[in-house]
Structures are given as structure tokens and as C-alpha cells.
A and B are shown apart, each in its own frame.
Chain A
């Protein structure tokens, strides 16, 4: 048995940005809905308020082993949602704001619409972004998603903005849509799996695309495919990261 905590945005949701990077699901598991509603929030450029002013909070017991944290509504104004997320499932049933899943450690985050900039990136002066867990976005993401990512899996169902996988160190990013310019700049390790050919990149950055046939592809894809086209780089920084594209995309 575990708990589900659900926050639904109210009509009074403020136009200003709310920094929620200090919110932790594990800190709320023992709290009642009323207690959570009384937690103070700081709205950038505005006076402080309480969670209950902007969200309707409900909690319930669930039969799952891990807790669930659900945000319903437009959450684009939430900055740093899921920062250092490490426990259970965080579900955003709507759009998510900037720095969602920043420095994520484990567990899962599911964003059912679009996400803002710096998805799974580090915050402040931190040098490491997402380190573990699974983060999935059904829609598009902004710029610099997966920046300095060091582990875990980031799945993007739509398009990704520029600077995807910048300075990536490890982990896996998949993108089913198109991606913007300056992808994988400074990438050292890790894997970027693209459904389409990416925009042109400096010839110095990545090796020519070559066919990779490995049993691992079948393990990784659940048997969906057994070979891909692969580039390695970013060679400008001595990186050996991988960019996978489908064979037919490379031929085209």
C-alpha cells in the first residue's frame, strides 16, 4: 500500500512562475491534504502564497508499492517540478514548465503534454543533470533537454528544441520527432536515439554514420529492431557518445 497525492490547478493559478524545486514527494507522504495545502510557495515577482491557494489537494491510499504524485492542469508556471525526484511516479497531466526533472535521481516522471526548457538538466551551479530513473514526455520539449545528463532514460514523443543532449555524459535520450540545431554538442558518452535524421552538424563533431548490428539492440528495443545507423562523438571533446538513427533514415 502506498499513497497518491493529487494537485489540481485552480482558476486562481498565478501568472508568475512558482519555484517548486524544493518540493519532494517523500516529504509529503506522511502529511494530510490539509497540511500540504498549507505549505507556503514563493511566486517569482509576487508575494508569497500557499499551495492551497493555487491547487486543490487530495490524497488517497493506493494498492501500488510506490507512491504517486499527480499534477493536473497547466503546470507551465511550475519551475523545477520533480527536481531531484527519487521516489515513485510523478505524473503531469498537462504541460510542464522549465527545469522539470532537473537532477532527477530515480523513479519516474511522465508528462502527458509538452515540457519547457532544460528538461532533465542541472539547476543553479550544479554540474550534473538527470542521473537516473525514467522521464517521458508525450509532446514536444524546449531547448537544452538532457543537458549534462548522466544517467537514466529520457523519452520524447514529439519534437525537441535546440541543444538536445548538450554535454551529455551518460544515459539514453530517445526522440520520436525532429530535433533542433546544435544537438549533442560536447557529448562525451551516452546514447541519443533519433527517429529521424538530425540537422547537419559540424563534420568534426561525429564520425560518419555506420551500421551497428548488435544483440543489444534487440534487448533494448524488445525485439523491434536489430540494427541501426550509428555515429560516435562529440569528437571535438574526445567523446564516444552514440547517435542512433534508423537505417532507412540514413539512406534517405
Chain B
């Protein structure tokens, strides 16, 4: 299915989409929950990603460690990594039988992930009482040859008292890939764990975690009549996507008001405010805001696959339109750069067009 989206890479925005007769959520062409959905597309980019599983003795320590780990991880523009909690995990879903969370991290390069993840793990997870950190992508080097160090780096904190253990694949269960498909690939060589003595006992940490190709920058923009309506719509969208596997919405609360365009009048900035959606500039700059809209908020989605992003976009747009309705939302659109920068294009009408199989849209 990814190929279907990649095949759209060469598409320019299709002018015929404007007259699209695509039937969306409520059976009316171009409408979802009574809200017009523009015939445009979200432009997304190739990224590198990994998944981590963070556990702790109780849910509170777990949340606090996760909050620290994903802090300042909204955008690769300045944070280096886009990182957020993917979903909560029950005791049955974690390697050590404790409450946990799955965290997804995305970066523009593997090298950046290799820099960011150990740094955050060391300062935010190792430091938090009772926590442990495991690989969330099953498989050893034979499956994921590109690796991000975890315990491989952190072990030195043990000052020689650290202990490593390699568990056979079947006993370790390879920390179980808790991915979208629930697939579990047994790593052939088993997994190495590090036990680092700390002041509450031991910090347990897997040696490393694989990284995979992924997609960042799936999005939709909610054009609302008021801030309160935009807030209602955004929160409904983010709630609808919150527990969906394989995706994160890395901005605060899942949405951003500072959607950006490429470039700036200042040569050292490569992104600046998306002036076409700024209501205070509409009278003297070209605008994409409809006359009735006074607020635009963007929901940005990073995902492990095109299918995951498409499914999340569909769920998010539907929930937003249903929550705010036409009285709150003027329209739904998406951010793109003319199709020239990112090779993954998520056409809103196609994503929303087939509720049962939202990723089957074809170029």
C-alpha cells in the first residue's frame, strides 16, 4: 500500500480533485460531518523511526519518565527528533509485566536518532525511579541491521558494576513487537539486556533497538470560526488518534498553531510562519483562509507506514468534523509544498473516501 502513496509522488495537485465527486464520510460529495473537505493533499517526507517501550513500577512513574523523554520533541526543525507516546501498554504487553508506554521517535536521519535517543534515555529514563527501557521493534541485526544504542551507551554509568545478559529469542520474546499488526518477529541471536546498578536497585535496559524507514509530516488543517471551535475539533481529532498504533502527533496537545512554510526572508531560517493561514495577515497577503474562518490549527502526524498515517488522518478528520460540525468548522484542508518536497501525498478525499479501507485510495 505504501507504493500506492509513493506512486503519487509525481502527482502535482490534481485540478480535477476540485470537482471531485468523491463521497466522503456522510455520503455527500466533498463533505464530512457537514464540513467541506478541500480537494488537496498533505505532503509528507521520508524519515527514520524507532519504537521504545518504557515501563515502571506504577503508571505514574511511567508517565513521568515518558513525559521527560518526549519533552521538547515536537519538530525536527529545532528539536532534532519528533517523539511522543504512541499508546499505553498494559502489563500483558510489556516485557517485564509492568505498566508501560510505547514511544515513537522520528528523525530526518539515522545519525540524528542515534544521537537523540541515548541522550534522552540517559537523562530522562535512567534518572526516573523504577523505570526500564526496552526495544519496541522486534528483531536483531539480521532483521534491523541499523541499530540505535540504548544500554550499549548507558551501561558505562554502571562504572564496571553493570551486568549484561543475552536471552534466547524464545525466552525474551524479543520484547514483542507491539506494532500495528501485532506481529512478532523472533530475533535470531536473542536480545542483550543491561542491568545497571542505581540507587533504587537496577536500571534494566535493552542493548539497542532497530530503526526503520518511516514517514513524517502527514497532516490536516482545521479551519474554524473561533478558537474554541478549533480547540474542540482538534481535541476530538487527537483523542480519536491517540491509541492508534504506529502514529504520533508530536506537537503540544497534538496540534500546532505555528504551521510553517519552507523558507524565510531571513536567509538563516529554512522555515517560517505559514502566512497564508494567518488571520491577521489576510487583508494584505494572499490567504487560504475562507472568509468565515478566523482560526487555523494543524494536526501533524508521523507514522511508521503510509497506511497508519492515512488511517489516522481519516479518523482524526472524521472526529473533528463530528465534534465541531459546520457551525464550528468552516473547512478542512491540508498542508503541502506543491508536491515538490515530499514524496508521500495523502489526498484528503482519497483518505476519507473509503471508510472501511481508507488507505486504498489510488492516484
Contacts and interface: CB of A to CB of B under 8 A. Distances in A.
Interface of A: 132, 134, 151, 153, 172, 189, 191, 212-216, 218-220, 222-223, 226, 240, 242
A134 B167 CA distance: 10
B204 A219 contact: yes
What 6 pairs between A and B have smallest CB-CB spacing?
A: A215-B96, A214-B202, A218-B96, A215-B132, A216-B204, A223-B97
A215 B166 CA distance: 15
B202 A215 contact: yes
B268 interface: no
B166 A151 contact: yes
Contact of B97 (A134, A189, A218): A218
Q: Is the interface of B mostly helix, strand, loop or mixed?
A: strand
5 contacts: A189-B163, A191-B165, A212-B201, A219-B167, A220-B165
A222 B201 CA distance: 20
B165 A134 contact: no
B95 interface: yes
Nearest to A134: B168
A222 B171 contact: yes
B165 A214 contact: no
Contacts of A132: 166
Most buried by A among B96, B161, B171, B172: B96
Interface string B138-176: 000000000000000000000001010111100111000
A172 B166 CA distance: 9
Interface in B109-155: 132
A216 B202 contact: yes
Nearest to B191: A219
B55 interface: yes
B97 A216 contact: no
Interface in B195-213: 195, 201-202, 204
A214 B193 contact: no
B97 A214 contact: no
Given A220-B171, A222-B171, A215 B165 contact: no
A191 B173 CA distance: 20
Nearest to A217: B96
A207 B193 CA distance: 24
B98 interface: yes
Contacts of A222: 171, 173
A223 B91 CA distance: 10
B55 A215 contact: yes
A21 B80 CA distance: 54
Contacts of A214: 195, 201-202, 204
A189 B164 CA distance: 10
Nearest to B171: A222
A226 B168 CA distance: 19
A219 B163 contact: no
Given A189-B163, A240-B161, A242-B163, A216 B171 contact: no
B171 to A, nearest CB: 6
Contacts of B201: 212-214
Interface string B77-112: 000000000000000000111100000000000000
A212 to B, nearest CB: 8
Interface in B254-308: none
A149 to B, nearest CB: 13
A226 B98 CA distance: 11
A153 B202 contact: no
Nearest to A151: B166
A223 B171 CA distance: 10
Contacts of B98: 215, 218
Contacts of B202: 212, 214-216
A242 B165 CA distance: 12
A251 B294 CA distance: 71
A191 to B, nearest CB: 7
Given A213-B201, A214-B201, A219 B166 contact: no
A252 B95 CA distance: 31
Given A151-B166, A223-B97, A216 B195 contact: yes
Contacts of A191: 163, 165
B333 to A, nearest CB: 46
A79 to B, nearest CB: 27
Contacts of B97: 218, 223, 226
A219 B204 CA distance: 10
A167 B300 CA distance: 57
A192 to B, nearest CB: 13
A249 to B, nearest CB: 21
B85 to A, nearest CB: 19
A203 B95 CA distance: 36
Given A191-B163, A216-B193, 11 more contacts: A212-B202, A215-B55, A215-B96, A215-B202, A215-B204, A216-B96, A216-B132, A218-B98, A222-B171, A223-B96, A242-B163
Given A215-B96, A216-B96, A216-B193, A153 B168 contact: yes
